[in-house]
Each structure stands twice: as structure tokens, then as C-alpha cells.
Amino acid sequence: MYEIWLAINVVYELALAHLSVVLFFLALWIALTGFVVLRGRANWRGAFPAALLAWVLASAAAFFGVPAATQSTLSDMRYWVDWANLVAIAAGLGGIVALFVWPFIAGMARRA
């Protein structure tokens, strides 16, 4: 349990250390979503499967890309917490990609 709490604390501290980047992407997402909502007739439900596909693809890419980006390999991970952290990081990065893809696709696939 300590390892999970430590991982959550590390993510929180990293977010605080890079608060300007976090706020920039949050503002960008709000602007994109607001633009699509104000434009009207966005197909949110129809764009959801594309957002899920983007989440799966981005998560898979992150699963294999994050260890390489940190100068590590999958064979270096020997503890279950390492695997849990990698899965959480990959799912989180995929979720961020999906959050940006969903309004973009919803705006492009407008309802009649």
C-alpha cells in the first residue's frame, strides 16, 4: 500500500512542479471543447468509439514507449508495483489523448 501512496504522491508533486504545462493543456482542452459546443450539433455519441480507439492505441504506444523514454526496458520491471505504475501511466496518457480526440472528432462528425 505504501508504494501506491508513494506513486500518487509523485504524480501530485510532478503536476505541481509543472503546473504551467498542466494549466496550458487544461485551457487548450477547455477552448477546444467550448469551440465544439458553441459551434453546435456535435456528434458526441458517434465520436465516442473513435475516442476509445484513440485511448487504446495511445495507451499501447505509451506502454511500450514510456520505458524506452526513461532509458529502461520491460525486462527491468520485476516488481508488481512497477507493472501497475506502467499500466497506470499508459492508461493516463491514453486518456489524455482521448480527451483531446473526442471533441475534435465530435466537431468534425456533426449531426444532420
One digit per residue, pLDDT tens: the chain, 112 residues?
Answer: 777 788 889 889 989 999 999 999 999 999 999 999 998 888 999 999 999 999 999 999 999 999 998 888 888 888 888 888 899 999 999 999 999 999 999 998 876 6
User: Which amino acid, one-letter code, is at 109?
Assistant: A
Q: Which three cell numbers stand for residue 17?
A: 512542479
Kindly report the length of the chain.
112
Nearest-angstrom CA–CA distance, 62 and 84: 14
- In the chain, where does DSSP find H-type helix? 2-17, 19-39, 44-69, 80-108
